[in-house]
Chain A
Amino acid sequence: MKKTDTIAAVATAMSSSGIGIVRVSGEEAFDIIRRIFRKKNGRTLEQMESHRAYYGFIWDGEEKIDEVLVLIMKGPHSYTAEDTVEIDCHGGVLMVKKILETVLKYGARPAEPGEFTKRAFLNGRLDLSQAEAVIDVINAKNQYALKSSVSQLSGAVSERVRGMREKILYEIAFIESALDDPEHISLDGYGEKLNEKLEPLICEAEKLLQSADDGKIMTEGVKTVILGKPNAGKSSLMNVLLGEERAIVTDIAGTTRDILEEHIRLQGISLNIMDTAGIRETEDVVEKIGVDRAKQSAEDADLIIYVVDGSCPLDENDREIMKMIRNRKCVVLLNKTDLSQQVTAEELEAASGKTVVPVSAKEGTGIDLLEEEIKNLFYHGEINFNDEVYITNVRHKAALEETLESLNMVRESIESGMPEDFYSIDLMNAYEQLGTIIGEAVEDDLVNEIFSKFCMGK
């Protein structure tokens, strides 16, 4: 584990525009900035004045990342009362993330949720009356982080991480039981065997890192759910938004039985959009499961797009959906404007209490109005990115990078002929790091594994 006390995080909301700020705080903050910042003339920052901004570029080795302003604040005259650096960059989610990753690569660790505030408080920078507010921030951020890291981590990724952990733990347990009971369990020739087993583990860690880069580990963006009763045109809408035939569209109500999930960018806003089964009372078991899932995902959503079929009158099913969207961020689409209308926009607006946008998904008309409406909600702060998802993603990536580094260290130890007990130090580190991704602490795993897998003496 990175045992540094220098932390970093994105200080601004992760939005698609404006300035993004990455904040670094702790003893090594200045050292880190010396390593990654170069002025326009290529020089590094050897001398720094407190409370001065420097213009230049962030570099990751020989790769230029972004043009930035760096603000230096020497402790105790900073928010956390520690040496602090703020890196102002050109906004944009990807760029802010990239800079945060660079800072982590060069020695900081990702801040825990609420950690800047906590430090500011513990270092006497905040008024004591704010203690409870600080506690609330920590609690809220932790809950949010917990929720997003668990709910957004795809099942396949957790499975792969679990698989790796299992294999690593087995090896540590083997080494440790041999160390504890050398007369019963021998480590002769073990290094070579372990080296062979490391190969696929290193490979897997590299693959996971790659998918972290592609944003495939955590789903980023506004979690958007398309809801509506069967055959309202949800899948058609999804296809229009995606600009491709992704969802199967038929005239038969109830075609979509499970959730389709896609990532789209709408006017610079990142949406993680889900097409769901139509909501209706049904006897069909499979369809019912789909309906329940749709309801569930609507509950977790940041934004709901409710599609109403304008060509038939509102019914019980619509009324149930309207109950679900009460007090939620929601845009109501009056679809099928190409057909004769049974429902008017005014009527729908009165019934739902939400803004209604008339569209025809089939013809593709009105979609621009929908995009405009979503953009408005977003820029007026009505809906937000799930910031924590980005941060969690960066955190996971840092953990994977350390896993990989630790596994490579084991390989090095084997090749340079170090004694076996040194392998388990780095293996344990890899195990702990992987655990942070799926939210599992170490506790007594090792001792349990030793006793369950290996026969100890006496």
Chain B
Amino acid sequence: MPNLEERYDVAVVGAGHAGCEAALACARLGLKTIMFTVSVDSIALMPCNPNIGGSSKGHLVRELDALGGEMGKNIDKTFIQSKMLNESKGPAVHSLRAQADKQDYTREMRRTLENTDHLTIRQAEVSEIIVEDGRLTGVKTYSGAVYHCKAAVLATGTYLKARCIYGDVSSYTGPNGLQAANHLTDSLIANGIEMYRFKTGTPARVDKRSIDFSKMEEQFGDKRVVPFSFSTDPESVQKEQVSCWLTYTNEETHRIIRDNLDRSPLFSGAIEGTGPRYCPSIEDKVVKFPDKNRHQVFVEPEGLYTNEMYLGGMSSSLPEDVQYAMYRTVPGLENVKIVRNAYAIEYDCINSRQLNATLEFKKIKGLFSGGQFNGSSGYEEAAVQGFMAGVNAAMAVLGREPFVLDRSQAYIGVLIDDLVTKENHEPYRMMTSRAEYRLLLRQDNADLRLMKIGHEIGLVDDKTYERLLWKEKEIEKEMDRLEKAVVGANEKVQNFLERHRSTPLKSGSTLAELVRRPELDYFVLAELDGERPDLPADVAEQVNINIKYAGYIKRQQQQVAQFKKLENKKLAEDFDYSEVPSLRREAVQKLNLYKPMNIGQASRISGVSPADISVLLVYLEQLRHQKR
């Protein structure tokens, strides 16, 4: 008999960015939820870089916000600098990134969690999952307490059997010296779950007072800050910002690294985990790109009430003395004092192929998972998965339809589809190039794409939803007006065009046609547009983009229509592919292994050819008729 027994609807294991979103989603949907963490002080901890967002990650945060997640709101409350990246590029790749005050971020998220009804926070290490007849029925802690639940979300991040390493120093702890979770892995393996071992790393934190900023370039935030959350009042985020600083490594830095490579655990073989290629340590960069004689180093504040600074671009697992030597070759860091060493961290995670697109384990009903535990990397990737896993756990408990986003709806859909459909051998990072339909999946229209769904789920309130409906209508009305409004080839118009280096008109033109000219846009055309209504900035932005890039957008919409045809052809979970006559053996094996949800997903599995898909379609059609 366990010493302590309690009952919940949902148990969430972990309180990082994935765990927080999962717990909030479940509790907000009215489910009795408990969230476990090895340390309540480390809720929503940012153990690596001090920022949220960035290219494509900013998209994820906005999508999450549109669906009713918390990350966007939390960073809006706690940012200390904000930038819209890629502003000179097309709207599809604009991306928000904000520097966070790390402690503030943690504190605010904790406040939100603590004040959410139905949510219990518990400091304890979950050491076992309890599975009966292929269904999850509870979790057990290291102290022996049993928490019965209908569903659980695993979001253990980098804590499972974590090991931190620099030089020949290695300690069995999670990030920042926090206690690792050393027992759960065994229970997962005993339940037939296949584990991987990944690694990642972080640079040193240094004392601000030991830096000579006069040798660095100052990096400012944007003059006008755009909030992450659609429900944050844009005026509320216009505040004083702090700067980041840019400096560079040099040949001397690289020489020191090369001379000491034999002391790096990455090269000596002491680290066995698979690291991400996109987030290489400085020693990786020096080895892989010998022709580059310098690498950028971004010096970023960790918060307003600390002198600790983050050395972006110089993550490392070299020994302490080498870290000192190499950092001190960098201009401005000649006398730098290290507060925390750089280190690499190894941890257990799963082969994400074992999950359905709902993030539920195929083999264990009621068990969901999200975040770095699934083999991804990054706070934002973690948060969106935690949210999706949490919502699906809630849907399962409530007996409602599962919630899946496809590749044409959201970056979230791309991320999860990639995780559950492709072989993944390194921590997965979101990138805009992974999204086939990125012209449609912009950060600026995440609300228009997803807020309705968030409202249906029950995580977006009526007021926010009504504002969305109003916005939709206004956009449509204004686009309509511009397609009809005609300007003549008169002197005023020709002068205007000349000033903007645009070809003069031969005859009348609609305003929409003029918006489409590369050198013009909706905003500059205000001058010629006497009838223009007073519209909020977010409406005007949509009008401009939709008209300006109409040709490209239409093309992608047609592609999406094709894509949807296969996506809508569902495949049963218990389908046995070896029963399909003439399907190639490789295809049978892969399909039985992945058990795709629909034909579209099947077609993306490597080793399944277009001919296999045709065969499958024909067979399914035959089955369908026979059932009738």
Instruction: Give me the interface of A with B, judged by CB distance under 8 Å.
Output: 3, 5, 112-115, 118, 121-122, 128, 131-132, 134-136, 138-139, 142, 172, 176, 179-184, 187, 416-422, 424-425, 443-444, 446-447, 450-452, 455-458
The chain A residue with its CB closest to the CB of B244 is A183
Contact B312 A457, beta carbon cutoff 8 Å: yes
CA of A180 to CA of B581 in the docked complex: distance in angstroms? 45
Question: Which residues from chain B contact A444 at a C-beta distance below 8 Å?
Answer: 422
The distance from the CB of B529 to the nearest CB of chain A, in whole angstroms, is: 22
The chain A residue with its CB closest to the CB of B288 is A455
CA of A142 to CA of B438 in the docked complex: distance in angstroms? 32
Question: Which residues from chain B contact A182 at a C-beta distance below 8 Å?
Answer: 55, 85-86, 89
Interface residues of B in 262-308 (CB under 8 A from A): 277-280, 285, 288-289, 292, 295-296, 298
Contact A418 B615, beta carbon cutoff 8 Å: no
CA of A184 to CA of B54 in the docked complex: distance in angstroms? 13
CA of A452 to CA of B284 in the docked complex: distance in angstroms? 12
- List 26 interface pairs A-B (beta carbons < 8 Å), by A numbering: A3-B562, A112-B614, A113-B611, A131-B621, A132-B582, A134-B618, A135-B619, A138-B611, A139-B615, A142-B614, A179-B89, A180-B432, A187-B89, A422-B90, A446-B433, A447-B434, A450-B278, A450-B433, A451-B277, A456-B278, A456-B279, A457-B313, A458-B49, A458-B280, A458-B313, A458-B315
Question: Which residues from chain B contact A450 at a C-beta distance below 8 Å?
Answer: 278, 431, 433
Contact B431 A139, beta carbon cutoff 8 Å: no
The distance from the CB of B624 to the nearest CB of chain A, in whole angstroms, is: 10
Count, A-B residue pairs, CB within 8 A: 128
Partner of A183 from B289, B298, B439 at Cβ < 8 Å: B298
Question: Which residues from chain A contact B289 at a C-beta distance below 8 Å?
Answer: 455
Contact B433 A180, beta carbon cutoff 8 Å: yes
B189 at interface, CB cutoff 8 A? no
The chain A residue with its CB closest to the CB of B565 is A5
Q: Besides the contacts A121-B618, A138-B615, A458-B312, what 17 more A-B pairs have beta carbons closer than 8 Å?
A: A3-B562, A114-B611, A131-B622, A135-B582, A138-B611, A139-B582, A139-B615, A142-B611, A179-B89, A180-B433, A182-B55, A419-B90, A421-B90, A451-B278, A455-B285, A455-B295, A458-B280
CA of A451 to CA of B288 in the docked complex: distance in angstroms? 10
| Also in contact, A457 and B615, with CB within 8 A (given A3-B558, A179-B93, A417-B519) | no
Contact B431 A416, beta carbon cutoff 8 Å: no
Question: Which residues from chain B contact A451 at a C-beta distance below 8 Å?
Answer: 277-278
Question: Which residues from chain A contact B488 at a C-beta distance below 8 Å?
Answer: none
Instruction: Give me the interface of B with A, judged by CB distance under 8 Å.
Output: 49, 55-56, 85-86, 88-90, 92-93, 277-280, 285, 288-289, 292, 295-296, 298, 312-313, 315, 422, 431-434, 438-439, 518-519, 552, 558-559, 562, 581-582, 606, 609-611, 614-615, 617-619, 621-622, 625-626
Contact A138 B552, beta carbon cutoff 8 Å: no
Contact B552 A422, beta carbon cutoff 8 Å: yes
Question: Which residues from chain A contact B85 at a C-beta distance below 8 Å?
Answer: 182-183
The distance from the CB of B248 to the nearest CB of chain A, in whole angstroms, is: 11
Question: Which residues from chain A contact B288 at a C-beta distance below 8 Å?
Answer: 455
CA of A444 to CA of B581 in the docked complex: distance in angstroms? 30
Contact B433 A420, beta carbon cutoff 8 Å: no
CA of A65 to CA of B370 in the docked complex: distance in angstroms? 60
The distance from the CB of A441 to the nearest CB of chain B, in whole angstroms, is: 9
CA of A394 to CA of B171 in the docked complex: distance in angstroms? 63
The distance from the CB of B114 to the nearest CB of chain A, in whole angstroms, is: 32
The distance from the CB of A116 to the nearest CB of chain B, in whole angstroms, is: 12
| Also in contact, A128 and B279, with CB within 8 A (given A183-B298, A457-B313) | no
The chain B residue with its CB closest to the CB of A187 is B89
CA of A32 to CA of B295 in the docked complex: distance in angstroms? 55
The distance from the CB of B57 to the nearest CB of chain A, in whole angstroms, is: 10
Contact A183 B625, beta carbon cutoff 8 Å: no
Closest 3 CB pairs of A and B: A419-B90, A451-B277, A142-B611
